[in-house]
Structure 1
């Protein structure tokens, strides 16, 4: 470091003495603060000049009479209506046609209860990967192609130290 003023104005030599003086002053201030005491003050109690008698009104406890609810009215009876059907009536048999094949699956939509036949092969569903998705947590950390040795070689070839810093050490 270059000296820009006279030697008498240089404060580097007096730095240690100033630090020690500061410690002494701080410790002495703490010692005085810990040893500081106050004398106990005596409190003289005197009788009050005015005493007021406060009368409280006693409120009697009241109880509500219990009211019994009337029993609920009986529900009206509903007459059962029985429809008698002849045993000799002919029922029409309906034939159900299906278009299912071996590789089709029946899909039921929850909530609506509708069913549909899925076409195409039945198997595991492959989700599409969105290339523009931003990840907060990744499973594998990024690596330099070629490993650590190739990274160090690239850094040593491409980073140039400034010549002014080399001159100044």
Structure 2
């Protein structure tokens, strides 16, 4: 499993994941920067993602939905706030309706992804910052931590394909 740690910090309003991959940073970057690769891991295995819009640049919109085992769809959106290929990506993230538009533009989290070369490949640190402790607890109760662990666990298979 590539996730080596996760930490929920209610005082800092963050949920942090650290994962390591046996690939260079530019290769790990592509699992974020390519919508077809992103679809293969952004969501737990039983809730695969479909990317409906992908504007991978500062100010760009990403719209996606995940489909559960019973056909239930859950939508999400990002607004990309920073791109420093291949080492840093930041975006605002929230829930979307059936058309891909934000359900509540104020109910947003902010994600910061950093990729750093490590001894055997790349260390990916993903920090999600919440606007309140209540939002953090709600997302934790929804299974965000386990879902992200499972989702990130799919990246090794993509990287192995070259």
* TM-score with structure 1 setting the length: 0.14
Greater RCO, 1 or 2 (C-alpha within 8 Å, sep 6+):
2
Bigger strand share:
2
Larger of the two Rg values belongs to structure: 1
